[in-house]
Chain A
Amino acid sequence: QVQLVESGGGVVQPGRSLRLSCAVSGFTFNHYGMHWVRQAPGKGLEWVAVISYDGGNKYYADSVRGRFTISRDNSKNTLYLEMSSLRAEDTAVYYCAKGTSGNYYLHYFDYWGQGTLVTVSS
């Protein structure tokens, strides 16, 4: 069955960096665009970034553009989110989610991971 498993969350000081990973199984990873979505404590869902099936196209929410980098390693069936210059407002559960085609547009999210909590605090 389809599984997405995030890791790499934790407590980090403001201004520092952190890398999240999402290991996937149960579908052909290199056929699908992939996303990161986050949810601040007690708040709603916020889309963060998308990457196309081959890594050739990447797009970001305004709130993270220039600070976060999405990438993938299709040989390892793994999605990444490199987060730098972290701020208190980046504190959230970060979910990886599977897109519904290989490109970066017109996706809904049919499978989600369980999420990993990132806390930005001194």
Chain B
Amino acid sequence: DIQMTQSPSTLSASVGDRVSMTCRASQSISSWLAWYQQKPGKAPNLLIYKASSLQSGVPSRFSGSGSGTEFTLTISSLQPDDFATYYCQQYSNYYTFGQGTKLEIK
């Protein structure tokens, strides 16, 4: 099974900041990686697929990069609506999620 590890577990930042979070796979998954945003009590929302492709309707301040085993989600200028939990998901070999990164207001 492929394990996904996200870091940090919690990230404190302010509106306007540029932030990045990391997702590491236990083996190469090529670019078969997605990122989701989840707010309390809500279903996850797809942000990025195939490591760097922006889902339709998602603001351009979100971007993804990486391949193989290391991936990054970057938010270029934090907005109040962006404070949430972010999950990565590999879909190279069945499906596995990371444990999440909670983005909180500093």
Contacts and interface: CB of A to CB of B under 8 A. Distances in A.
Interface of A: 35, 44-47, 50, 59, 62, 95, 100, 105-110, 112-115
A44 B95 contact: no
B94 A59 contact: yes
Interface range on chain B (Cβ under 8 Å from partner): 20 to 34
Interface of B: 1, 32, 34, 36, 38, 42-46, 49-50, 55, 87, 89, 91-92, 94-100
B43 A107 contact: no
B99 A44 contact: yes
Contact of A95 (B43, B50, B87): B43
Contacts of B91: 105-108
Contact of B89 (A50, A95, A100, A108): A108
A35 B95 contact: yes
A106 B96 CA distance: 12
Contact of A106 (B32, B36, B38): B32
Contacts of B32: 106
Interface hub of B49, B94, B96 (most chain A Cβ within 10 A): B94
Contacts of A107: 91, 95
B100 A44 contact: yes
Contacts of A59: 94
Nearest to A114: B43
A89 B22 CA distance: 28
24 contacts: A35-B95, A44-B98, A44-B99, A45-B36, A45-B38, A45-B44, A45-B100, A46-B97, A47-B89, A47-B95, A95-B44, A105-B91, A106-B32, A108-B46, A108-B49, A108-B50, A108-B89, A109-B34, A110-B46, A110-B49, A110-B55, A112-B43, A113-B43, A114-B42
Contact of A44 (B34, B50, B92, B97): B97
B54 to A, nearest CB: 13
Nearest to B32: A106
**Chain A to chain B: the 4 pairs with minimum beta-carbon distance, closest first:** A112-B43, A108-B34, A47-B95, A45-B97
Contact of B95 (A50, A95, A114): A50
